[in-house]
Amino acid sequence: MSVRAYRGPLLHFTAAPTSAGEGVEYFADGVLVVDDGRVRQVGPAAAVLAALPADCEVRHHPDHLIMPGFIDTHVHFPQIDVIASYGEQLLDWLNHYTFPAEQRFAEAQYAAAAAERFLDELLRNGTTTALTFCTVHPASVEAFFSASTRRGTRMLAGKVLMDRNAPDGLTDTAAGGIADSERLIEKWHNNGRQSYALTPRFAPTSTPAQLQKTGALLARHSDVYMQTHLSENSAEVQWVETLFPERTSYLDVYDHYGLLSERSVFAHGIHLRDRELRRLAETGASIAFCPTSNLFLGSGLLDLQRLQDFGVTFSLATDVGAGTSFSQLQTLNEAYKVAQLKGYPLHPYEAFYRLTLGNARSLHLDHCIGNFEAGKEADFVVLDPNATPLLAYRSRQCESPWEKLFLLMTLGDDRVVAETYVNGARVYERRQYR
Ligand code: GUN
Ligand code: ZN
C-alpha cells in the first residue's frame, strides 16, 4: 500500500489527559501520514505536507475531526439478535431472550451471517477493536475471527464456557469446553490481528471443575485474555453466594480458580465490596463499565470515583445486547450521566481518552493501537461534527476542542462517523455525508 495523508482537524492522546489539556495533542489543521497500514507521522499540516513527496495523495477533511478508532472492551456479537428486548432484569433477560437467541449459533451459516452484521455495525459506529463474547459453539468463534480476518480488524474474542444452569443446547462440559478453547487458542491467538480470550460466561453457569480447568489453561498461556461478568445485579450476587458458599465473595470465586490477572476483564463490578476492589487493584484486573447496559437492565450505577480511589483500572464498553447502542459516543453520553449521579465529573478529554488510548492500555494493546504514535496500526475515524442540524448549530457556538468533544459525546451517534479505517484501509464510508 502506498503512502497516503489525511488532512484536517486531528486529535489524539499521548497520555492520560488532565483537564488543562496535558496529554491531548490537537491540531486545528493536522496531517496523519499512513504508510503500508501504519502511522508514519502526525503533525501540523504546514510542516508535514512540506516534507511529503509531491505525488503523495492527500485527502482533505477540513470540516471533520480525525481521531483514533474507538475500542469496545465488552460486547456480545451474538446479541445483535436481542438488543432492545423489553422489560426484564439480568437473570430473566438471559432466560427469556439471550439463551434462546444464542442457541441459533449452533448453525455455522447463521453464525457467519451474524458475524458480518456485527462487524458492519461496529465499523459504522467507528469501533475498530472489540473484546467480544461469542457463544458456547466453537463455530461461532470461527465465524467471528474469519470475518474479522477478512476485514483486517484487530479483535479479541472467545468461546463461552458454560456447563450448568443453561439450556441443553447451550452447555458444554468441563473437559469439552476446555479442549475446544485450547484448539481455538492454537488456531486464532496471535493469528494476524486476532487475540483469544477465555470466556467463562459468569460464575453461576460454570461448575467448579470448569472454572478450575479454565484457570489451569490460562496459566499455560500467559498472554491469552480472560473475560467474564462480575457483580452486575443484586439477585446474581446472591445466587453466586448460594452456589459457592465456601468463597468469601463473588470475586473470590474467580480468584480462587486463578482467573485474575492484568489480562482479565470483568464486566460491570457494580456491587463490589472494598476487599474485592483491593484485590482487583492488586492483580491489575480491570472493570469494563457498561453504562447503557447497567441502566437498561436496572443493574445499578457504577461508582467510578470509588474505583479510582482503590486504584482499579476501568474501561468503557457497550455490552450489546443488554447495552442499547453500538455507538461508543452514546456509551459516553450515558457514562457521563451515571457519573453525574455518583459525583464523578467525566471530562470530555478523559472520556475520549478512555475510548482510545485508555481502552487500549486496559487491554495491553497500546503498543499497537490507541493513538497516532509512529509505527502504530492505522485504525482511525473521520468524524463529522456537523452531522445533524443540532450538532452543526451548537458546534458553531463552541470554541475549544473539549467543548466540541462534549457535543459529540452528548448529541452524537453513528451519524457522526463519516469514515472508518483499519490498517490504513477504508472499511466504512457513510453515504451522503457532506
Ligand atoms: N451475565 C451473564 N451473561 C450475561 C450477558 O450475556 N449479558 C450481561 N449483561 N450480563 C451477563
Ligand atoms: Zn456482557
245: which 3 cell numbers? 458458599
Q: What is the CA radius of gyration of the chain?
A: 21
The reply to whether 193 and 321 lie within a common domain is yes
Domain range enclosing 425: 4-68+370-429
The reply to whether 349 and 374 lie within a common domain is no
**Mean of all residue pLDDT scores within the chain:** 97
**171: pLDDT strictly greater than 70:** yes
Instruction: Give the distance (Å) from ligand 2 centre to CA of residue 289.
Output: 10
pLDDT mean over 355-381:
98
DSSP secondary structure, 135-196, as one string:
-SSHHHHHHHHHHHHHHT--EEEEPEE--SSS-GGG---HHHHHHHHHHHHHHHTTBTTEEE
The reply to whether 189 and 64 lie within a common domain is no
5: which 3 cell numbers? 495523508
What is the amino acid identity at position 323? G
Comparing 16-30, 132-146, 194-208, the range with the smallest average pLDDT is 16-30
pLDDT bracket for residue 2 (50, 70, 90): confident
What's the structural domain count of the chain?
A: 2
Closest atom of ligand 1 to 322 CA is 9
The reply to whether 389 and 265 lie within a common domain is no
Instruction: Give the distance (Å) from ligand 1 centre to CA of residue 227.
Output: 11
Domain boundary among 331, 362, 393: 362
Instruction: Give the distance (Å) from ligand 2 centre to CA of residue 266.
Output: 9
**Is 227 inside any structural domain?**
yes
Looking up residue 58, the CATH number of its domain turns out to be 2.30.40.10
pLDDT bracket for residue 92 (50, 70, 90): very high
What percent of the chain shows pLDDT beyond 90? 97
Instruction: Give the distance (Å) from ligand 2 centre to CA of residue 172.
Output: 19
Query: CA-to-CA distance for 303 and 314, rounded, in angstroms?
Result: 11
Looking up residue 148, the CATH number of its domain turns out to be 3.20.20.140
Which ligand sits nearest to residue 297's alpha carbon?
Answer: 1
Query: CA-to-CA distance for 38 and 152, rounded, in angstroms?
Result: 13
185: which 3 cell numbers? 487458542
pLDDT mean over 312-336:
98
Question: Which residue is closest in CA terms to ligand 1's atom 1?
Answer: 229
Q: What is the pLDDT of residue 408?
A: 98
DSSP secondary structure, 336-404, as one string:
HHHHHHTT----HHHHHHIIIIIHHHHTT-TTTSSS--TTSB--EEEE-TTSSHHHHHHHHT--SHHHH
Q: What is the pLDDT of residue 431?
A: 87
The reply to whether 339 and 285 lie within a common domain is yes
Most distant CA atoms of the chain, gap in Å:
70
Give 62-81 pLDDT, tens digit per residue: 999 999 999 999 999 999 99
Q: What is the pLDDT of residue 1?
A: 52
137: which 3 cell numbers? 459453539
The reply to whether 196 and 242 lie within a common domain is yes
pLDDT mean over 71-93:
96
The kind and range of the H/E element at 284 are none
> In this structure, how many other beta carbons lie within 10 angstroms of the beta carbon of residue 278?
15
**247: pLDDT strictly greater than 70:** yes
Instruction: Give the distance (Å) from ligand 2 centre to CA of residue 202.
Output: 9
**432: pLDDT strictly greater than 80:** no
Query: CA-to-CA distance for 270 and 252, rounded, in angstroms?
Result: 15
16 burial (CB, 10 Å; 0-12 / 13-18 / 19+) is middle
Q: Between 328-341 and 401-411, two packed helices, what is the crossing angle to 10 degrees? A: 100
58: which 3 cell numbers? 492527500
Instruction: Give the distance (Å) from ligand 2 centre to CA of residue 267.
Output: 6
Query: CA-to-CA distance for 214 and 216, rounded, in angstroms?
Result: 5
Comparing 16-20, 173-177, 199-203, 331-335, the range with the smallest average pLDDT is 16-20
**Is 132 inside any structural domain?**
yes
pLDDT mean over 175-193:
98
35: which 3 cell numbers? 504508510
Domain boundary among 305, 327, 362: 362
Closest atom of ligand 1 to 133 CA is 6
Q: Write the CB contacts of 42 (distance below 8 Å, at least 6 apart in sequence).
A: 10, 12, 25, 27, 30, 31, 32, 33, 48, 372, 374
Q: What is the pLDDT of residue 20?
A: 83
Report in angstroms the alpha-carbon separations of 264 from 22, 124, 234, 260, 321.
Answer: 29, 28, 22, 6, 21
pLDDT mean over 119-135:
98
Q: What is the pLDDT of residue 18?
A: 86
pLDDT bracket for residue 125 (50, 70, 90): very high
The reply to whether 311 and 395 lie within a common domain is no
Closest atom of ligand 1 to 323 CA is 9
Pocket test for ligand 1, best of 74, 81, 94, 164 (most atoms within 8 A of CB): 94
Domain boundary among 319, 341, 362: 362
Give 253-278 pLDDT, tens digit per residue: 999 999 999 999 999 999 999 999 99
Instruction: Give the distance (Å) from ligand 1 centre to CA of residue 289.
Output: 13
Question: Which residue is closest in CA terms to ligand 1's atom 9?
Answer: 322
Q: Between 174-188 and 138-151, two packed helices, what is the crossing angle to 10 degrees? A: 10
pLDDT mean over 147-156:
98
> In this structure, how many other beta carbons lie within 10 angstroms of the beta carbon of residue 262?
14
**Is 434 inside any structural domain?**
no
The reply to whether 252 and 382 lie within a common domain is no
The reply to whether 61 and 142 lie within a common domain is no
pLDDT mean over 89-115:
97
Question: Which residue is closest in CA terms to ligand 1's atom 7?
Answer: 322
DSSP 105: G
Residues with CB under 6 A from ligand 1: 76, 90, 94, 98, 201-202, 229, 232, 293, 319, 322
Query: CA-to-CA distance for 334 and 22, rounded, in angstroms?
Result: 25
Q: What is the pLDDT of residue 196?
A: 98
The reply to whether 58 and 97 lie within a common domain is no
pTM over 0.90: yes
Pocket test for ligand 1, best of 88, 90, 160, 265 (most atoms within 8 A of CB): 90
The reply to whether 134 and 180 lie within a common domain is yes
> Which region holds residue 375: left if phi is over 0, alpha if psi is between -120 and 50, else beta?
left
The reply to whether 138 and 188 lie within a common domain is yes
Give 12-46 pLDDT, tens digit per residue: 999 999 878 899 999 999 999 999 999 999 999 99
Q: What is the pLDDT of residue 433?
A: 53
Which ligand sits nearest to residue 74's alpha carbon?
Answer: 2
